[in-house]
Structure 1
Amino acid sequence: MLEVALQRSVGAFTLDVALEADAGTTAIFGPSGAGKTTLARCVAGLARPDAGRIALDGRVLFGPGTDLPPHRRDIGYVFQEARLFPHLNVRRNLLYGAPRGADPGDVCEMLGIGDLLGRRTAGLSGGEAARVAIGRALLRRPRLLILDEPLAALDGPRRDRVLPWLERVRDAGVPILYISHAVEEVARLADTLVLLRDGQVARAGPVGEILSDPSVAALMGPSQAGAVLTGRVVSEADGIAAVETAVGTVQVVGAGGVGSRLRLRIRAEDVIVATERPRGVSALNVLAGTVASAQPGQGPGVMLRLAIGEGHLLARVTRRSAATLDLSEGRVIWALVKATGVARADIG
């Protein structure tokens, strides 16, 4: 359990947050300048709050009369840049700061870096360097791992290759504070989402609940909005997997084998809404439900929250379509989602 209540002012900007993070992965999400990295640095002891209290598992790290230095906080910190030592090979980078006698074997297997141990860091790709930096932090046996925009320096394809390794770190049970402004990373990795805006907590809660709330779209940007579903692959044929989820069976491309547990993010802009059961359409996913709520945006769009089965999807439509089809609360609808419409980066 991480408990944070702090204030810190830098020039005209003030960070004033209070939050609690349980075991699992807690994502701190927000636009540039929201205070994400300042918060992370305060927790790690790399920046000093003006006032407040920080405690990890009941142990006070910062508070009245207490300000533990970074090396005594039992926190592993991974920066946006890997910050590896160029004069050391990968093995020696991994073991830097680790307890005497530490064996990097398990961490290397988890992150797929065993074949890199003898290499110099200058020859590593961006994705390899990021994994080595994460491995070095893990070998310190931290009680909390802070990942501060660890994929921000990577392009899309390299980021997509590293995400599965981060999922393995998450699944290993290490508590993680994940700092990001990329919603696709948050949707795949996080259990809890803290939405930070202008130095304050705008929303906090389970990631699926927060991301499927239409009112959050205005804070995140409508193009980023989308519902998160968890499910299990029940069949696979022709490269298309059928995933059993709370909204019913969803057909997607590029998922795991039968029996795999998945997390899907279905973007609001990829959902088409019909008021009559469609016929003769190419979309493999046609899901019956009702409009749970409609949230007008500042522009020409309306964000719909669709109740389907035991879950929800979001759909972004124009005001004109919402008015013409009378997409008001309680309206019976069918949601159409192409199997190829769920991006590979949104399947974890």
Structure 2
Amino acid sequence: MSIQVDVHLRRGAFALEAAFQAGPGLTALFGRSGSGKTTLIDLIAGLARPDRGRIVADGATLVDTAAGVFLPPHRRRVGVVFQDARLFPHLSVRSNLGFGRVFARQPRDPAAFPAVIEMLGIGHLLDRRPEGLSGGERQRVAIGRALLARPRLLLMDEPLAALDEARKAEILPYIERLRDEAGVPIVYVSHAVSEVARLATTVTVLEAGRVAASGPAEAILRRADLVPIHEAEAGALLDMVVEGSDPETGLTRLAGLAGRLLVPGLTRTPGTRLRVRVLPARDVLVATERPRGLSARNVLSGEVAALTVSGSEVSVEINCNGAILAARITAAAVRELGLAPGSPVHAVIKSAAFDPAGIGLLRRPVEI
């Protein structure tokens, strides 16, 4: 399943000219407020009409202005999950979920209901009403309702924005499972780097209504130049596997292409595959000799892959056995260290730099 979008829309002084493609997994629309993320979601859902353009989802043409095609929202088979769950307050969870099946307009699949209930962990909520649910539980029910409509595409417009940190932590594992098991492409709007880093397969960055970049999450999120407002949060994504934990130190050992890492204790069993966010790039130290006598627990060896100058600072990409790490240091440090593409270096990272909220599950194998 895939989606192709190429649309143009002008609203007053704002102009949206965006083109991107998304395949299986989760594509994050990422950028600062006012960049056009929600407008793009509205166009895909059929809640707005482009001045010109084309949208194709799973081989079905939803919009083609040149051919005069514009499917109304109820015929698009596009599920939408908003910031607020928008559940019917007078109905039980079971009845709210039933509306998804009513609007599916597809042959009924008896296995769909129990499968969605199990995937989202909401079986114990079926007889309750929305007022008795937490924010995270309401969002899980809203996702279930959208899935039971058997969409060819799922749109999620900042679904965690209204939740506190505890509720976000509750629902993120379910969105990871949705990404990996539902078999439906997801377009996910967010301006939170931690969410995007943990969830996204692909990232499309919007700036002032235009696509500034689009590609694999690990390649996009280490570039501090794409969205300057998030510059301090640029960092690398590494695929790792849990080796074990040390109860005495409270640290968990991870291994991957980049090498071995010690991170704050995780409640993960050995062999679990993880995506680990190294953040921020400014906190990654670069040394030309292997350092000794440091409190930092992690030293990864590699060579400089690229240097990108931005004023007095330089973004350094370090190739650690095929995994790319990001650091951001001063131009003066680059000169004094004599760094250039191909220079052997060591990246030094404190264990405390790893935020457990930025560590998510991976379904694909991890190379070591």
Which TM bucket (shorter chain)? over 0.9
Q: CA deviation at 1:95?
A: 1.4
Alignment match, 1:192: 202
TM-score in terms of structure 2 length? 0.88
CA RMSD of aligned residues (A): 1.9
Q: Does the Cα contact within 8 Å between 2:225 and 2:231 map onto a contact in 1?
A: no
- The residue number in structure 1 matching 2:330 is 318
Check 1:6–1:257 CA distance in 2 against 1; reply closer, same or farther (3 A cut): same
Matched, 1:293 2:296: no
Residue 117 of structure 1: aligned partner: 126
1:166/1:59 CA distance change after superposition, 3 Å: same
Query: Does 2:259 match 1:248?
Result: yes
* 116, 130, 135: which one aligns with 1:126: 135
Is the 1:214–1:304 Cα contact (8 Å) retained in structure 2?
no
Amino acid at match of 1:195: V
In structure 2, the CA distance between the partners of 1:141 and 1:284, relative to structure 1 (3 Å rule), is: same
Q: Partner of 2:213 in structure 1?
A: 203
Show structure 2 runs of 5+ residues with no match.
Answer: 103-107, 361-368
Tell me, in whole angstroms, the C-alpha distance in 1 between the residues paired with 2:126 and 2:265: 31
Structure 2: distance between partners of 1:4 and 1:59: 12
Are positions 1:159 and 2:168 aligned together?
A: yes
Amino acid paired to 2:320: I
> Which residue matches 1:59?
60
Deviation at 1:318, TM superposition (A): 3.2
Q: Give the deviation of 1:221 after TM superposition.
A: 2.7
Count matched residues.
346
Matched, 1:91 2:101: no
Q: CA deviation at 1:246?
A: 2.1
| 1:6 counterpart residue number | 7
| Percent of pairs with identical residues | 50
CA offset at residue 104 of structure 1? 3.1
Please say if 1:339 is aligned against 2:354: no
Length-normalised TM-score, structure 1: 0.93
Distance 2:63 2:99 in 1: 26
Mean alpha-carbon deviation: is it higher for 94-103 or for 195-204? 94-103
Measured after TM superposition, the shift of residue 215 of structure 1 is 4.1
Amino acid at match of 1:266: V
- 1:88-109: per-residue Cα shift (whole Å, max 9, x none)? 1211111113146866322222
CA distance in structure 1 between the aligned counterparts of 2:16 and 2:192, rounded to whole angstroms: 21
- CA displacement, residues 233-273 of structure 1 (integer Å, 9 cap, x when unaligned): 23333343322222112222243211111111111133122
Mapped partners of 1:7, 1:323: distance in 2: 45
